Amino acid sequence: MPRPLDADTFFDYLAQGPEVFAPGCAGHSLLLEHWLRNGAERCGGLRFTGVHIPTVNTFDFAGLHPQARQRTIFLSSDLRSSWLAGRVDYLPMTYTATWRWLRESVAFDAVLVQVAPPDEDGNCSLGIACDFTPATWPRATRILAHINPRMPRTRGPSIPLSRITAAIEQDAPLLAIPDPPADAA
């Protein structure tokens, strides 16, 4: 069973190693983002890696602290300040090459996940966020999970609850992009 996770223990785990996988798209946990923003002073020395999609994932991890870094395969205007400060590493890779690199070349000290509650077999579905996380968690030292009842269980990839280091189960909105206003025409 995972150990309990709260904002303080979250940063205690992150302090144990600098390499952090922070998923993009719908895998981005607004709860974990809230903890990171409120504890930005504890993010020095961390390097956050993820596939952060422009206009979807607008959070600047490298902007948390002057000694924080971010690796991504996309650049967007949301990362401009950190890019100009030299804290963003751009990885010009295709999705296939990114998957292979995450699976075979890099090991993370912590992988952050947002998952559905465990099923009867003790597996937590990645729900609507099953793109790159499955490539990262098997080699991770620690998995820190936001178990979110709003994350739908799907038949796609999952993580055994027994593999999760620490978790919090808390209802929270999933990342959403509002529809633009309708044209007057």
For 108-120, write each residue's pLDDT tens digit: 999 999 999 999 9
| Residue 178 resides in a domain | no
| Residue 176 resides in a domain | no
Q: pLDDT tens-digit profile of 24-47?
A: 989 999 999 999 999 999 999 999
| Residue 98 resides in a domain | yes
87: domain CATH number is: 3.40.1080.10
Comparing CA positions, the residue from 61, 59, 51 lying closest to residue 85 is 61
| Residue 179 resides in a domain | no
| Residue 174 resides in a domain | no
| Residue 149 resides in a domain | yes
Q: pLDDT tens-digit profile of 148-165?
A: 999 999 999 999 999 999
pTM for the whole structure: 0.94
| Residue 185 resides in a domain | no
| Residue 154 resides in a domain | yes
CA distances in angstroms from 182 to 178, 179, 185, listed in the order given: 12, 8, 9
- Domain of 87? 3-109+117-169
What whole-number distance in Å separates Cα of residue 106 and Cα of residue 49?
10
Beta pairing, strands 158-160 & 123-125: antiparallel
Number of domains in the chain: 1
Asked whether the predicted pLDDT for residue 184 surpasses 80, the reply is: no
Asked whether the predicted pLDDT for residue 185 surpasses 90, the reply is: no
Asked whether the predicted pLDDT for residue 81 surpasses 80, the reply is: yes
Average pLDDT of 72-97? Answer: 96
Tokens of 70: 């971010």
DSSP per-residue codes, 74-104: ---GGGHHHHHTT-EEE----HHHHHHHHHH
Neighbour count for residue 4 (Cβ, 10 Å): 10
